């Protein structure tokens, strides 16, 4: 069963080119009798291109030997004019080897010798029209796909612009809100400190403790505001991307953390790390946060160890930061990347619960991924996947 219907085939447009009017009239009548409805005749080969341009045929049948402009010239002119695949059949009484080869080199799809049997011509026309009509279907499908891609691209560009404006507005709002919040908090802390100094010796233990709670609470609110600002500015205040050698970044981080690592006798080892495309300052912040967390959540019964390594995959580098700390329960391994989510008592493990959330936003700005695998009591391994090829900074995903 043919995948092209007779209705489609018989509706195709056929152009006949031959200087002998009697031959084209007979051939046209034969084609119309065979069911082909749209048959056009050109008896002057010099008008072939003009007619071709006007009717845009699905198939061309041309004679070879014609005065003024032979079939080879006609084929060359039509091929120069065609913007899509249009099969050509060449007819001639001189079907020698050289003529056939020359015709094929010029782009003729088939060759038929005069005189010919109608059944043979029908078969050749049918085969070539089937290819042409399938090609036309493919062109239409491609056109529709390109149109959909264009529409989708425009939608994505609009959404990206809306997201960019939203991020800018969020950053501005966060800055203004933080500024407006910090000033009254600062005044509360300042007045509580002045109260303690001015009433020195007259405050009871309970009143002094309340004032100190106020001061400590105010400082913690200020810290929360600062971390919220830092979190909100990952996308809008980042540096331009550049080539970043993570070995150099790690060296800088270890130098910054030297006193902390020495104090807790932390052993940090590393395999060679890759050169990536990104924001050097932000990537340094990610490594520093992960190593600092490894120190903070160390197991008191063994010496803290941190090992960094990397592997190369098809489209990305995967950097690992492995420690031998207290580990994380499976049900909390996604929650730790949410802003201000704490898993432990503040007195035992100080902090605000914002570091990993900021790391996640930074990695997402680098079009990457971050996740953790951990077993309580055995330690944690954090994975950072970054693209191998240079990318433009991307917006991080907003938390709900």
Domain ranges for the chain: 6-116, 164-232, 242-387
Q: CA 393: distance to chain centroid?
A: 12
Long-range CB contacts (within 8 A, 24+) of 172-179: 174/228, 174/229, 174/232, 174/233, 175/229, 175/232, 178/225, 178/226, 178/228, 178/229
| pLDDT class of 353 with cuts at 50, 70, 90 | low
Query: 231 versus 161: which is more confidently predicted?
Result: 161
Q: Average pLDDT of the chain?
A: 84
Mean pLDDT of 252-271: 93
For residue 41, give the H/E element and its range. Answer: strand 38-42
| pLDDT class of 357 with cuts at 50, 70, 90 | confident
For residue 61, give the H/E element and its range. Answer: strand 59-63
Q: Would 6-116 and 242-387 be classified into the same CATH topology?
A: no
CATH 3.40.50.11810 given to domain 242-387: no
What are the backbone angles phi and psi of residue 312, rounded to the nearest 5°? -100, 125
Mean pLDDT of 289-300: 90
The dihedral over CA atoms of 246, 251, 254, 258, expressed in degrees to the nearest 10, equals -170
Sheet holding 379-387, edge to edge: 267-270, 305-312, 316-323, 379-387, 369-375
Question: Domain 6-116 sits in which CATH superfamily?
Answer: Response regulator (3.40.50.2300)
Q: What is the pLDDT of residues 49-83, one digit of tens each?
A: 999 999 999 999 999 989 888 999 999 999 888 88
What pLDDT score was predicted for residue 400?
A: 41
Dihedral angle sign, alpha carbons of residues 234, 238, 242, 243:
negative
Least confident of 111-115, 145-149, 183-187, 347-351: 347-351
Closest CA to 65 of 123, 137, 114: 114
Mean pLDDT of 133-156: 90
Token pair 């000033």 in the structure block, residue:
183
Q: CA 265: distance to chain centroid?
A: 43
Does the structure show a pLDDT above 90 at 370?
yes
For residue 369, give the H/E element and its range. Answer: strand 369-375
Does the structure show a pLDDT above 80 at 96?
no
Could you give the CA distance from residue 66 to residue 289 in angstroms, rounded to a whole number? 83
What pLDDT score was predicted for residue 343?
A: 56
């Amino acid at each position: 069963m043919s995948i092209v219907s007779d209705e489609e085939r018989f509706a195709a447009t056929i152009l006949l080119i031959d200087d002998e009017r009697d031959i084209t009239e007979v051939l046209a009548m034969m084609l119309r009798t065979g069911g082909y409805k749209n048959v056009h005749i050109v008896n002057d080969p010099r008008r072939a291109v003009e007619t071709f341009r006007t009717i845009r045929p699905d198939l061309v049948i041309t004679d070879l030997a014609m005065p003024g402009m032979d079939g080879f010239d006609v084929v060359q002119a039509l091929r120069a004019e065609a913007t899509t695949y249009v099969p050509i059949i060449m007819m001639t009484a001189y079907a020698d080897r050289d003529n056939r080869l020359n015709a094929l080199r010029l782009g003729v799809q088939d060759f038929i010798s005069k005189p010919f049997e109608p059944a043979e011509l029908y078969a050749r026309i049918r085969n070539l029209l089937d290819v042409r009509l399938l090609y036309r279907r493919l062109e239409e499908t491609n056109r529709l796909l390109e149109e959909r891609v264009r529409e989708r691209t425009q939608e994505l560009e609009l959404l990206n612009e809306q997201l960019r404006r939203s991020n800018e507005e969020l950053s501005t709002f966060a800055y203004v809100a933080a500024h407006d919040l910090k000033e009254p908090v600062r005044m509360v802390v300042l007045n509580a400190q002045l109260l303690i100094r001015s009433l020195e010796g007259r405050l009871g233990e309970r009143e002094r403790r309340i004032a100190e709670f106020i001061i400590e609470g105010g400082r913690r609110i200020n810290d929360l505001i600062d971390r919220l600002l830092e979190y909100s500015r990952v996308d809008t205040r980042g540096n331009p991307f550049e080539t970043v050698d993570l070995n150099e970044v790690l060296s800088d981080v270890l130098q910054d953390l030297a006193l902390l690592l020495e104090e807790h006798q932390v052993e940090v080892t590393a395999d060679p790390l890759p050169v990536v495309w990104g924001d050097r300052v932000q990537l340094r912040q990610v490594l520093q946060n992960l190593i600092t967390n490894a120190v903070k959540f160390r197991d008191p019964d063994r010496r803290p160890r941190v090992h960094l390594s990397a592997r190369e995959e098809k489209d990305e580098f995967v950097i690992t930061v492995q420690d031998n700390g207290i580990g994380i329960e499976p049900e909390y391994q996604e929650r730790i990347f949410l802003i201000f989510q704490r898993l432990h008592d503040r007195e035992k493990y100080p902090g605000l619960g914002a570091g990993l959330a900021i790391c996640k936003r930074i990695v997402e700005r680098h079009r990457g991924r971050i996740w953790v695998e951990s077993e309580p009591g055995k330690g944690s391994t954090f994975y950072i996947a970054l693209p191998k090829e240079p990318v433009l900074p991307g917006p991080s995903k907003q938390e709900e």
